[in-house]
Amino acid sequence: MDGSRREVKPEQRYKWIALSNTTLGVLMAAINQSILIIALPVIFNGLKVNPLASSQTGLLLWVLLGFNVATTVLLVLFGRLSDMFGRVRLYNLGFLIFTAGSVLASLTWSTGEAGEVELIAFRIVQGIGGGFLFANSAAILTDAFPENQRGLALGLNQVAAIGGGIIGLLVGGALAATGHWRWVFLVNVPVGVVGTVWAFVALREVAQRQGRQRLDIWGNLLLTAGLLGIMLGLTYGIMPYQRHSMGWSNPRVLSELAGGMASLILFVVVEKFAEQPLFDLKLFGIWPFTAGSLSGLLASLARGGLQFMLIIWLQGIYLPLHGTSYANTPFIAGLYILPQMFGFLAAGPVSGMLSDRFGARTFATIGMVVTAAGFSLLETLPVDFNRWAFWSYLFVIGTGMGLFASPNSAAIMNALPARYRGVGSGMRSTFTNAGSMLSMSLFFSIMIAGLAQKLPQALQSGLIKHGVPASGAVRIAHLPPTSSLFAALLGYNPLQRLLQQFHLLKDLSASQAHYVAGHTFFPALIGPPFMHGLKLAFTVSLIMSAVAAVISFFRGKRYVHGDETANRTRAADNPPDGPGSRLGRRL
């Protein structure tokens, strides 16, 4: 062979195949998570749904969150199954299930509430497939890449996961502009088919399975019940209950939350005595794993609800105030959020490469400090903001998230023994997805509480001022603020429909009716109460980002389980008799 050309080893080729395929899978699933947020107006219109009907709040939430709930609840189980039966095999299965769910969602045949229920069921099917993809991608990469390149590999994978959420907003906006809602789901199908075939042909099992293993039935049941109970409680907690603006006093919500917490406590007890536990709790004795999981959870809590709030701000308030038609607000809103993706794409891969050489602590810590600074900057914006300031602050947040994500993921996966990488990857993804779900519930609760305090009076006085009879203005003003919030999310003005519903249009002149039902009246009224809650939400995100930075700083220096090359350089950083090392030898 020509001496100027070096043979590429199969292992060298395979790791890039694994990276490209898993990145494609995670990108597809991440885009699917966010694409609905911005395409909801055209989907609801296509299904002939009235978003202001009393039964629609819960169904709307499940259309949005069904995918995330299914994925979050099943991630750890899928990670454990992958350790038992093969990560690549179940990853391939995830691609196939996700693609089938996308086809079914695009074929939703009913309209009205029946159509919504069908769509929710198909979204859950997608979530099951997404669970297999999220649970196994990081484990497959950790198996395929050497320790000194895992930061880069996992960084690119994280760029796909979080950047895909931003891409989904843009793609959803573009598809919404076409008016054909089924394309929102069909767009996944070609990618899913190619990914399924490619994964089946190109990926192979690298990890060795550890003897005969059994599924921890009780552990799975308790963890599933715990996560599902909490997810259901959080979902229905932000819905109106009787005369309350939210459902936190609803006995059903309290029962679901209490039952979920009790199940998780029992899960911990059962796992301590299980012969082959679903999740070996001794792994939490590895401090880099625990610190990375905690800081990842906090980071996800800080950013998870951000996209929802930004979309509501843009579609329901800012863009209508600037004359953008409701038909175009989804696409324009997607464009406005692009700087966050640019920041993430700029920082993510670079941070991953540098953390391979210098360790995760510095970059993860700086990343969360930058993210906290970005939330602090967002707090200074008025409801009718300067676009360049808005874009700059989103770029700062995206850069901070990019600096944090890949070093943190690499530190978590490097700390795990090889035979625990599947379930460890599932647990890492569970923390991330659960954080996003909690974040959305937290953000919505803060927003609804703020609207409940200030919106009724503003709406009542504004309607009376423009000719609406006082009795009718009171009825409209005291409707649950959740409806107003979701109307903003769907990017339309609900007042025209409400005025028709309460037969109030006959009391207004043509000019008054045109103004009240026009582009600016409702956004101008909802803007100040919305910002009252939004700035509080940004403050909470700032605090969580700062705490994540502190945990990242105290994670310790580099720790790699079972890697002799890395261990030669970590003797001073992690003494052989330290708790992480003792546990590493024990496991």
Domain boundary among 501, 526, 551: 526
* Nearest-angstrom CA–CA distance, 65 and 437: 8
Whole-number Cα distances in Å, 241 to 230, 294, 482, 569: 18, 33, 11, 58
Q: Where are the alpha helices (DSSP H) in 466-559?
A: 470-477, 481-489, 495-501, 510-516, 521-553
Q: Taking phi first (over 0 means left), then psi (-120 to 50 degrees means alpha), and beta for anything else, what does residue 204 get?
A: beta
pLDDT in tens, 127-176: 899 888 888 887 788 788 887 777 777 767 777 776 677 778 778 877 87
* Nearest-angstrom CA–CA distance, 472 and 455: 16
Domain boundary among 485, 503, 526: 526
Among 156, 135, 25, which residue's Cα sits nearest to residue 73?
135
Identify whether 383 is part of a domain: no
Identify whether 97 is part of a domain: no
If one counts the domains in the chain, the total is 2
State which residues form the domain around 260. Answer: 216-277
Identify whether 230 is part of a domain: yes
DSSP 312: I
Q: In the numeric block, which tokens belong to residue 24?
A: 């494609």
- pTM for the full predicted model: 0.77
Q: In the numeric block, which tokens belong to residue 241?
A: 């209950």
CB 551 within 8 A of CB 295: yes
CB 422 within 8 A of CB 142: no
* Nearest-angstrom CA–CA distance, 22 and 19: 5
State the virtual CA torsion across 452, 454, 459, 461 in degrees, nearest 10: 140
Identify whether 515 is part of a domain: yes
Domain boundary among 505, 526, 547: 526
Helix (DSSP H) and strand (DSSP E) numbers for the chain: 24, 0
**pLDDT given for residue 9 in this prediction:** 54
pLDDT in tens, 474-527: 888 877 777 777 766 666 667 777 787 778 877 888 888 888 877 788 888 888
Identify whether 473 is part of a domain: yes
Q: In the numeric block, which tokens belong to residue 207?
A: 């990890």
DSSP 241: B
Identify whether 485 is part of a domain: yes
- Ordered per-residue pLDDT tens for the chain, 587 residues: 444 444 445 567 888 888 888 888 878 877 887 788 777 778 887 888 766 665 666 777 788 778 888 888 887 788 778 877 888 888 899 989 999 999 999 999 888 888 888 999 999 999 899 888 888 887 788 788 887 777 777 767 777 776 677 778 778 877 877 778 888 888 888 888 888 888 888 888 776 655 566 777 888 888 888 888 887 887 788 777 777 777 888 899 999 999 999 998 998 898 888 877 877 778 888 888 888 889 989 998 888 778 778 888 888 889 888 888 777 787 788 889 889 888 888 887 788 778 778 778 888 899 999 999 999 999 999 999 999 999 999 999 999 988 998 788 878 878 888 777 777 777 777 788 778 878 877 787 777 777 777 888 888 888 888 888 888 888 888 777 777 777 666 666 677 777 877 788 778 888 888 888 777 888 888 888 888 888 888 998 999 999 999 999 887 665 555 543 344 334 333 433 343 444 443 34
The size of the chain, in residues, is: 587
Identify whether 23 is part of a domain: no
- At 571 the three-state DSSP class reads coil
Identify whether 79 is part of a domain: no
